[in-house]
Amino acid sequence: MSQGIDLQGSFVELLTQFGLPAGVAKAMWLPLPMTLILLAATVSIFVTVWLERKISAAAQQRIGPEFAGPLGTLQAAADGIKLLFKEDIVPAKADTILFTLGPALVVIPVFLSLLIIPFGQNLVITDIGVGIFLWIALSSITPIGLLMSGYSSNNKYSLLGGLRAAAQSISYEIPLALAVLAIVLMSNSLSTIDIVEQQSGYGILGWNVWRQPVGFLIFWIAALAECERLPFDLPEAEEELVAGYQTEYTGMKFGLFYVGSYVNLVLSALIFSILYLGGWESPISVDLLSGLFGVSETTPWLQVITAAIGIVMTVVKAYLLVFLAVLLRWTVPRVRIDQLLDLGWKFLLPVALVNLLLTAALKITFPVAFGG
């Protein structure tokens, strides 16, 4: 597995064969993965919106979108085009600069976090050492954007929504970080690649879900709260706050919040699949199968197949989690704000702390199973 596919190396080599200097070839490579990830994120929004509409329709025994494209798959594109052509209104007494800056500050960190998502051994934009820590750090910028848009809208519902969003975000950041810390403790690294590597080799049995049964529940609850998904969508609770911090927004500025929330959901699902479900590893290890059939793992066609399986596995796991999140949205009622903060501070935080201590103790006692 150490050899793998090196797309960057092959691309640079190809261009240098055409007579380009190596530096120029490298500079030409740089924008390619970034654009690819941006495109993938956009497509993931379409898929998620379609899933959300279809699954919620099924949960309520309706049909859901049907006329835009086959099975209504183009409904999200229609929504996006509608938002693009809407008039961009800034309220008269709103603070124009902050009002415009707010949505951007919410969306940018989410897209930046896609930097660390690996889809295979070498299929990642950058394998930076701080890896998962970067995601936690970046996701802590979002509340500033929420507070900014809530304050600048000059509307009491917006301000309340922004304050709620920030409070919710800082409360659930701590259990989330503690759950991630337990995983990092077991894999001895912050890098997302190393975290997946540590789970590889035993197929489905090696995944972290079995070693962190409490941790993954904490992570999933906290991630849903960070994404403001329905059991925890208090910042935009329709019955109480109109639409929270989004109340005064129209057109593409509102669209940015929409895009941000869906990309954030997909991102959380991807990170969940990397941390607990073995990332690009398939339930039955490909290495094991190739060893069984006596195919060398440096065979080119096998490497291509492994990479393809890796991408499919990561995406399938992530979308299973998205499906779960959508299903939760239509089955669980919304909590109250005091219940939300109670759950975060009185229950999740102590449990996450105990989970971390237990993991550390188990790591010392059974270094074989817990990555000593």
Partner 1 sequence: MTLAEGVQLVLFGLLAALVIGTALGVVLLSNIVYSAFLLGGVFLSISGLYVLLNAGFVAAAQILIYVGAVNVLILFGIMLVNKSQPFTPVRRGWIRLIATGGVCLGLFALLSTMILGTSWQLSTETPVGDGATVLIGMHFFSDFLLPFELASVLLLMALVGAIILARREFVPDEPPTDAISDALKLPERPRELVPAGREGSESPE
Chain residues that interact with partner 1, rule: CB under 8 A = 23, 26-27, 98, 128-130, 133-134, 136-138, 140-141, 143-144, 147-148, 151, 159, 162-163, 166-167, 170, 173-174, 190-191, 240, 336-337, 341-342, 345-346, 349-350, 353
Q: Of 23, 29, 192, 184, nearest to 124 (Cα)?
A: 192
- Whole-number Å distance between alpha carbons of 75 and 172: 33
- Whole-number Å distance between alpha carbons of 339 and 344: 9
Least CB distance to partner 1 at residue 62 (A): 27
DSSP string, 242-282: TTGGGTT--HHHHHHHHHHHHHHHHHHHHHHHHHHS-TT--
Residues 6+ apart with CB under 8 A from 271: 117, 132, 135, 223
Least CB distance to partner 1 at residue 121 (A): 17
Nearer to partner 1, 137 or 312 (CB): 137
- Whole-number Å distance between alpha carbons of 21 and 23: 6
3-state secondary structure of 21: coil
- Whole-number Å distance between alpha carbons of 280 and 300: 18
Least CB distance to partner 1 at residue 317 (A): 26
Nearer to partner 1, 68 or 136 (CB): 136
Nearer to partner 1, 20 or 51 (CB): 20
Least CB distance to partner 1 at residue 278 (A): 23
CA distances from 249 to 78, 87, 151, 155, 258 (A): 19, 10, 13, 11, 11
Least CB distance to partner 1 at residue 177 (A): 8
- Whole-number Å distance between alpha carbons of 117 and 84: 29
Amino acid making up residue 150: G
Nearer to partner 1, 41 or 148 (CB): 148
The tokens for 167 are: 């409070």
Least CB distance to partner 1 at residue 27 (A): 6
Nearer to partner 1, 191 or 285 (CB): 191
